[in-house]
């Protein structure tokens, strides 16, 4: 394949990288796509992974409990049951054709990962072992099923390492510690994508990565909330960048709050703790989930459990009247806690100084997962509008994307499945389409505007500290755009976010140097967080119903007549005006029904 | 709690030599040392530079020397660190800026040991390869490594000669050497039997003490030397 770089940008040739395909983000989705690209196109293909972290630091590595696939290794299971659970878990906002692909592909994908070396736990027969997980049922909701494949309680770590290892084996080129600042759209937002522009953290120099195909696999934006399970680096970069260029973000109002965040710290105690038999207790020592979800109890879907905890707290049954409840795993015994849940037990000991065998563990819901993101089709191709028009050469996969397989609420383990199935599918599709995509050219306008943005931050002398604005943003989003929402709270939140965006136009950073300027990096990330917050709160304000992760106290019921549709939020780069458009949900098999567990 | 945070600062762009700076910060006893570093970076001096991401001990970004020992800043609590906390960059690697070191040699050593499963055969039924729980258990401990470099940069042999592949790379070689599915054991053992390989370990156990994952590193090193013995390479 030959590549020519027509058109001249601002960035000197020495810092222009001509590649066949560029993957942004080195978590599970990005690495699987890169591996697939290399395998499809052969050893000479120039496949680059650009990430602001070393690949092994990606947040895929923090995923704990498992990844579901209906292997049926320990009891009867069928991918159609998994499909139904995914649709129901998503409160029927799931596009059913996409979820069908995910649940069917799951089986082959998990087997492929085993072939690549993933250290799954095994049954006595040597098969991949499986355990229960929230919302996953047998025979369309009858009771819990063992569907989650796992590597102790560090399944994400095992996935990340395995894919990183295989990418090394296959000669993927890594550009570590480059922060992507823009996407090259030389023909405007309606045209094709032609690469990305990134800041080399070591030197603060801008680099242009030119390629016919670009995959965004940058993860979520949980750092927009005060209490979150997300890493510091999850700042919505890959959502905000296309949004700034006038491309849409889908279903941003749907954000998952995971029930068992460690109190105040926010990071997770895996749902696997309840999958193995752990239960939630209120101040009276009551197993309160029995009254909210009589069948699935503590293993109801996450939005249901998180809301139940909030209601217990609101009614004064938080521990000591406070804002947390207890997770009780004492009865699981040393064997299960130390062998199947060793990391979780370690977290409890390290951060709380408690002993899970004898002590109750304080937990609270924590902002965990963005169901929304860059809209894509089932092959990772990014969509330009609600009518399904594709942006040539632009792909997205993983948490940054919205296929939509999670609808209004993601089931536990389906995030790992999403990154694997759709990361891989995107890689295959990119490989297949590459020859037909136009040759990359420079986007001089983007290079100039990025240069101006960076210079502006480095020369600012009379603004506020980014950390001050970020802390206010996290506070207001958690308090007013959290588990429960109302018209009044969301209106206040929208106005607050808008005021913070204004203030963030004048930032002052201390570090004016070129070497590993993480002060600059954090200021740029704040911009992304503010854009994601805007899309989230405006989308949430418009949706006058309660569905999955979007719970409105003033509109407590799901409204399938008016709201069985996806939100597409767009901001005009010219006027700054936001518009909301809607797209019907694809329903192929399961008619929407009331959702009970 | 009022804490005095002493940080060894060095920015080669601006400083002639490394120097210690003191910062007064206030913290809850259950805060992590990473929280203290963030307090300084976010509200006192934005030029302070370090790596971090997950903040709960799984990504491996923030290994550094705290109170004289290699630890993860996000796993060490203020109540255990005491009222005066000293922080400096890991030893044996070039300081790029403050607490951030040049990791390239570390990744080079990692890549040297073929850290990936080699096995092109796929079971005829298209399903997973079988592996007994006992065989799976053999690499349980070493598959837990998060590549934070705390072990390698605590090793006196590595301090004196960076050509030594180091404990982290050996741990990752072990993870595949004892995996019953792998077919490149011999090649990996040859790499390990190199003069800069496993023989240079002097079992000072610094690595075991430094590992935030409590991996039994010297046990893994011993198992690799035993495998080399069995393979006839020595």
What is the helix (H) or strand (E) element at residue A426, kind and residue range?
helix A414-433
Chain A to chain B Cβ contacts (< 8 Å) = 151
- The two tokens of residue B167 are 């404990």
Residue-level pLDDT, tens digit, chain A, 597 residues: 333 344 578 899 999 999 999 999 999 999 999 999 999 999 999 999 999 999 999 999 999 889 999 999 999 999 999 999 999 999 999 999 999 999 999 999 999 999 999 999 999 999 999 999 889 999 999 999 999 999 999 999 999 999 999 999 999 999 999 999 999 999 987 799 999 999 999 999 999 999 999 999 999 999 999 999 999 999 999 999 999 999 999 999 999 999 999 999 999 999 889 999 999 999 999 999 999 999 999 999 899 999 999 999 999 999 999 999 999 999 999 999 998 899 899 999 999 999 999 999 999 999 999 999 999 999 999 999 999 999 999 999 999 999 999 999 999 999 999 999 999 999 999 999 999 999 999 999 999 999 999 999 999 888 999 999 999 999 999 999 999 999 999 999 999 999 999 999 999 999 999 999 999 999 999 999 999 999 999 999 999 999 999 999 999 999 999 999 999 999 999 999 999 999 999 999 999 999 988
Asked whether the beta carbons of residue A516 and residue B100 sit closer than 8 angstroms, the reply is yes
Spell out which residues of chain A touch residue B132, defining contact as CB-CB under 8 Å.
Answer: 122, 124, 126
Minimal C-alpha gap between B153 and chain A (Å): 18
pLDDT at B234 over 90: no
Closest C-alpha to A83, from A96, A65, A64: A96
What ipTM does the predicted assembly reach?
0.98
Q: How far, in Å, CA of A550 to CA of A533, rounded?
A: 15
| Count of alpha carbons within 13 angstroms of residue A55, beta-carbon side | 29
Q: What is the pLDDT, as a whole number, of residue A393? A: 98
- The two tokens of residue A401 are 């994307």
- The two tokens of residue A96 are 């059913």
Q: Does A6 touch chain B (CB under 8 A)?
A: no
Spell out which residues of chain A touch residue B13, defining contact as CB-CB under 8 Å.
Answer: 513-515
Tell me the β-bridge partners of A552: A485
Instruction: Single out the catalytic residue among A57, A192, A210, A302.
Output: A302
Asked whether the beta carbons of residue A350 and residue B57 sit closer than 8 angstroms, the reply is yes
| Count of alpha carbons within 13 angstroms of residue A593, beta-carbon side | 13
Cβ count near A488 (within 10 Å): 11
Question: Between A53, A128, A233, which is nearest B128 by CB?
Answer: A128
Cβ count near B187 (within 10 Å): 12
Minimal C-alpha gap between B47 and chain A (Å): 5
Alpha helices in A436-580 (DSSP H): 444-459, 466-480, 487-503, 518-542, 560-563
Q: What is the pLDDT, as a whole number, of residue A411? A: 94
Closest C-alpha to A431, from A374, A376, A378, A379: A379
Q: Which residues contact A545 (CB under 8 A, 6 or more apart)?
A: A552, A555, A557, A558, A559, A562, A563
Residues of A numbered 10-39 whose beta carbons fall under 8 angstroms of chain B's beta carbons: which are they?
A: none
Asked whether the beta carbons of residue A516 and residue B97 sit closer than 8 angstroms, the reply is yes
Closest C-alpha to B223, from B201, B194, B196, B195: B201
Closest C-alpha to A446, from A173, A177, A176, A191: A191
| CATH 3.40.1180.10 correct for A255-368 | no
Q: How far, in Å, CA of A447 to CA of A183, rounded?
A: 9
Closest C-alpha to A433, from A189, A215, A246: A215
Compare all CA atoms of chain B with the CA of A152 and give the residue at the minimum distance: B140
Pairing between strand A578-584 and B2-9? unpaired
Q: Does A97 touch chain B (CB under 8 A)?
A: no
Tell me the β-bridge partners of A195: A210
Pairing between strand B19-26 and B2-9? antiparallel
Domain boundaries, chain B: 2-101, 104-231
Asked whether the beta carbons of residue B133 and residue A122 sit closer than 8 angstroms, the reply is yes
Domain boundaries, chain A: 255-368, 450-557
Cβ contact A533:A473 at 8 Å = yes
Question: Between A125, A152, A511, which is nearest B47 by CB?
Answer: A511
Cβ count near A305 (within 10 Å): 29
Chain centre distance of CA B164? 15
Q: What is the pLDDT, as a whole number, of residue B232? A: 86
Cβ contact A204:A519 at 8 Å = no
What is the helix (H) or strand (E) element at residue A38, kind and residue range?
helix A28-41
CATH of domain B2-101: 3.10.20.30
Can you state the angle between helices A237-244 and A518-542, rounded to 10 degrees? Answer: 70
Closest C-alpha to B37, from B86, B103, B105: B86
At residue A183, φ and ψ (nearest 5 deg) are: -110, 140
**Reduced 3-state DSSP string for B173-193:** HHHHHCCCCCCCHHHHHHHHC
The matching CATH number, chosen from 1.20.58.100, 1.10.3720.10, 3.40.50.1820, 1.20.140.10, for A450-557 is: 1.20.58.100
- The two tokens of residue A292 are 């909210």
| Residues found in chain B | 234
Exposed / middle / buried, residue B126 (Cβ in 10 Å: 0-12, 13-18, 19+): exposed
Cβ count near A577 (within 10 Å): 8
Q: How far, in Å, CA of B173 to CA of A502, rounded?
A: 52
Minimal C-alpha gap between A123 and chain B (Å): 7
Q: What is the pLDDT, as a whole number, of residue A7? A: 55
Q: Does A474 touch chain B (CB under 8 A)?
A: no
At residue A474, φ and ψ (nearest 5 deg) are: -65, -40
Compare all CA atoms of chain B with the CA of A117 and give the residue at the minimum distance: B117
- A287 catalytic? Reply is no
Asked whether the beta carbons of residue A351 and residue B12 sit closer than 8 angstroms, the reply is no
Q: Does A57 touch chain B (CB under 8 A)?
A: yes
Which tens digit of pLDDT belongs to each residue from B171-214? 999 999 999 999 999 999 999 999 999 999 999 999 999 999 99
Residue with tokens 């009247």: A321
Cβ contact A164:A61 at 8 Å = no
Q: What is the pLDDT, as a whole number, of residue A3? A: 38
DSSP letter at A186? T
Q: Which residues contact A188 (CB under 8 A, 6 or more apart)?
A: none
Cβ contact A209:A19 at 8 Å = yes
Spell out which residues of chain A touch residue B51, defining contact as CB-CB under 8 Å.
Answer: 57
Beta strands in A37-177 (DSSP E): 47-51, 67-68, 130-138, 143-149, 173-176
DSSP letter at A57? G
Beta strands in A6-68 (DSSP E): 16-18, 21-24, 47-51, 67-68
Asked whether the beta carbons of residue A513 and residue B13 sit closer than 8 angstroms, the reply is yes
- The two tokens of residue A549 are 């992760």
Question: Between B116, B146, B147, which is nearest A168 by CB?
Answer: B116
DSSP letter at A550? B
Residue with tokens 């990134």: A198
Spell out which residues of chain A touch residue B147, defining contact as CB-CB under 8 Å.
Answer: 54, 56
Asked whether the beta carbons of residue A347 and residue B179 sit closer than 8 angstroms, the reply is no
Closest C-alpha to A106, from A415, A383, A338: A415
Asked whether the beta carbons of residue A117 and residue B181 sit closer than 8 angstroms, the reply is yes
3-state secondary structure of A328: strand
- The two tokens of residue A442 are 């420079």
pTM attached to this predicted model = 0.97
Asked whether the beta carbons of residue A115 and residue B129 sit closer than 8 angstroms, the reply is yes
Closest C-alpha to B184, from B114, B109, B112: B114
Q: How far, in Å, CA of A90 to CA of A402, rounded?
A: 13
B202-223: burial string, b at 16+ Cβ within 10 Å, e else: eeeebbbebbbbebebbebbeb
Question: Between B46, B53, B107, which is nearest A53 by CB?
Answer: B53
Q: Which residues contact B109 (CB under 8 A, 6 or more apart)?
A: B152, B165, B166, B168, B169
Q: Does A121 touch chain B (CB under 8 A)?
A: yes
Alpha helices in A317-386 (DSSP H): 333-335, 342-347
Q: In what order do the strands lie in the sheet with A47-51?
A: A173-176, A47-51, A21-24, A213-216, A390-396, A381-383
Could you tell me the CATH superfamily of domain B104-231?
Answer: Alpha-helical ferredoxin (1.10.1060.10)
Which tens digit of pLDDT belongs to each residue from B116-166? 999 999 999 999 999 999 999 999 999 999 999 999 999 999 999 999 999
Q: Does A122 touch chain B (CB under 8 A)?
A: yes
Spell out which residues of chain A touch residue B11, defining contact as CB-CB under 8 Å.
Answer: 513, 515
Q: Does A339 touch chain B (CB under 8 A)?
A: no
Q: How far, in Å, CA of A586 to CA of A84, rounded?
A: 14
Chain centre distance of CA A116? 24
Q: Does A511 touch chain B (CB under 8 A)?
A: yes
Pairing between strand A213-216 and A21-24? parallel
Cβ contact A463:A507 at 8 Å = yes
Indicate left, alpha or beta for A246 from its phi (over 0: left) and psi (-120 to 50: alpha). left
Closest C-alpha to B112, from B211, B187, B208: B187
Q: How far, in Å, CA of A36 to CA of A19, rounded?
A: 16
| Count of alpha carbons within 13 angstroms of residue A486, beta-carbon side | 5
Q: Does A161 touch chain B (CB under 8 A)?
A: yes
Compare all CA atoms of chain B with the CA of A350 and give the residue at the minimum distance: B75
A76-109: burial string, b at 16+ Cβ within 10 Å, e else: ebebbbbbbbbbbbbbbbbbbebbbbbbbbbbeb
Which tens digit of pLDDT belongs to each residue from B7-55? 999 999 999 999 999 999 999 999 999 999 999 999 999 999 999 999 9
Spell out which residues of chain B touch residue A509, defining contact as CB-CB under 8 Å.
Answer: 46
Tell me the β-bridge partners of A174: A49
A317-333: burial string, b at 16+ Cβ within 10 Å, e else: bbbeeebbbbbbbbebe
């Amino acid at each position: 394949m030959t590549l020519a770089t027509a058109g001249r940008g601002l960035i000197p040739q020495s810092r222009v990288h001509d590649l066949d395909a560029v993957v942004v983000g080195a978590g599970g989705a990005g690495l699987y796509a890169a591996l697939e690209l290399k395998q499809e196109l052969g050893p000479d293909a120039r496949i680059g992974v650009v990430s602001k972290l070393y690949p092994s630091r990606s947040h895929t590595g923090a995923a704990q409990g498992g990844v579901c696939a209906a292997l049926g290794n320990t009891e009867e299971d069928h991918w159609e049951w998994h499909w139904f659970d995914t649709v129901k878990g998503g409160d029927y906002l799931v596009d059913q054709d996409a979820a069908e692909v995910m649940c069917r592909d799951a089986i082959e994908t998990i087997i492929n990962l085993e072939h690549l070396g993933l250290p799954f736990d095994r049954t006595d027969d040597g098969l991949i072992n499986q355990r229960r997980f929230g919302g996953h049922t047998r025979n369309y909701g009858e009771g819990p099923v063992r569907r989650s494949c796992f590597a102790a309680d560090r399944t994400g770590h095992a996935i990340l390492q395995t894919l990183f290892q295989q990418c090394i084996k296959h000669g993927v080129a890594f550009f570590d510690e480059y922060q992507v600042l823009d996407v090259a759209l030389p023909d405007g937002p309606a045209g094709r994508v032609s690469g990305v522009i990134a800041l080399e953290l070591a030197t603060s120099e801008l680099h242009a990565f030119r390629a016919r195909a670009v995959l965004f696999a940058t993860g979520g934006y949980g750092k927009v909330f005060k209490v979150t399970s997300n890493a510091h680096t999850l700042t919505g970069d890959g959502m905000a960048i296309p949004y700034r260029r006038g491309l849409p973000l889908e279903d941003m109002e749907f954000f998952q709050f995971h029930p068992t965040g460690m109190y105040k710290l926010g990071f997770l105690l895996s749902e696997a703790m309840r999958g193995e038999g752990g239960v939630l207790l209120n101040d009276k020592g009551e197993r309160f989930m029995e009254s909210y979800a009589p069948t699935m109890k503590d293993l109801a879907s996450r939005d249901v459990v998180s809301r139940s905890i909030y209601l217990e707290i609101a009614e004064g049954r938080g521990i000591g009247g406070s804002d947390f409840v207890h997770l009780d795993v004492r009865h699981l015994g040393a064997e299960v806690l130390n062998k199947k849940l060793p990391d979780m037990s370690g977290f409890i000991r390290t951060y709380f100084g408690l002993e899970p065998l004898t002590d109750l563990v304080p937990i609270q819901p924590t902002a965990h997962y963005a169901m929304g993101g860059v809209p894509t089709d089932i092959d990772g191709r990014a969509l330009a509008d609600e009518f399904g028009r594709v942006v040539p050469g632009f792909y997205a996969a993983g948490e940054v994307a919205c296929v939509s397989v999670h609808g209004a609420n993601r089931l536990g383990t389906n995030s790992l499945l999403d990154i694997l199935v759709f990361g891989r599918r995107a890689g295959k599709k990119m490989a297949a389409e590459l020859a037909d995509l136009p040759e990359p050219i420079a986007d001089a306008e983007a290079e100039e505007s990025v240069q101006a943005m960076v210079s502006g931050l480095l020369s600012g002398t009379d603004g506020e500290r980014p950390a001050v604005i970020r802390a206010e943003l996290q506070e207001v989003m958690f308090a007013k755009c959290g588990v429960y929402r109302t018209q009044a709270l969301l209106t206040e939140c929208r106005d607050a976010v808008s005021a913070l965006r204004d203030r963030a136009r004048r930032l002052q950073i201390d570090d004016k140097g070129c070497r590993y300027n993480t002060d600059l990096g954090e200021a740029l990330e704040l911009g992304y967080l503010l854009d994601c917050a805007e899309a989230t709160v405006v989308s949430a304000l418009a949706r006058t119903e309660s569905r999955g992760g979007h719970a409105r106290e003033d509109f407590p019921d799901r409204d399938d007549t008016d709201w069985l549709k996806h939100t597409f939020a767009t901001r005009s780069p010219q006027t700054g005006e936001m518009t909301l458009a809607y797209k019907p949900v694809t329903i192929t098999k399961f008619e929407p029904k009331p959702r009970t567990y | 709690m009022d804490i005095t945070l002493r940080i060894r600062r060095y920015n080669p762009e601006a400083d002639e030599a490394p120097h210690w700076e003191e910062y007064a910060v206030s913290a809850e006893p259950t805060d992590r040392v990473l929280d203290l570093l963030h307090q300084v970076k976010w509200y006192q001096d934005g030029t302070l530079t370090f790596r971090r991401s997950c903040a709960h001990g799984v990504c491996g970004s923030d290994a550094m020397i705290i109170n004289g020992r290699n630890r993860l800043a996000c796993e060490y609590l203020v109540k255990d660190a005491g009222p005066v906390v000293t922080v400096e960059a890991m030893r044996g690697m070039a300081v790029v800026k403050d607490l951030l070191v040049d990791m390239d040699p570390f990744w080079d050593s990692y890549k040297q040991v073929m850290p990936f499963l080699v096995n092109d055969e796929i079971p005829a039924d298209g399903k997973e390869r079988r592996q007994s729980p006992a065989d799976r258990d053999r690499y349980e401990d070493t598959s837990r490594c998060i590549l934070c470099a705390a072990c390698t940069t605590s090793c006196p042999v590595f301090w004196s000669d960076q050509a030594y592949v180091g404990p982290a790379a050996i741990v990752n070689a072990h993870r595949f050497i004892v995996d019953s599915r792998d077919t490149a054991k011999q090649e990996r053992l040859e790499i390990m039997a190199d003069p800069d390989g496993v023989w240079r370990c002097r079992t000072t156990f610094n690595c075991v003490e430094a590992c935030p994952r409590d991996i039994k590193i010297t046990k893994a090193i011993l198992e690799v030397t035993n495998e080399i013995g069995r393979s006839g390479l020595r």
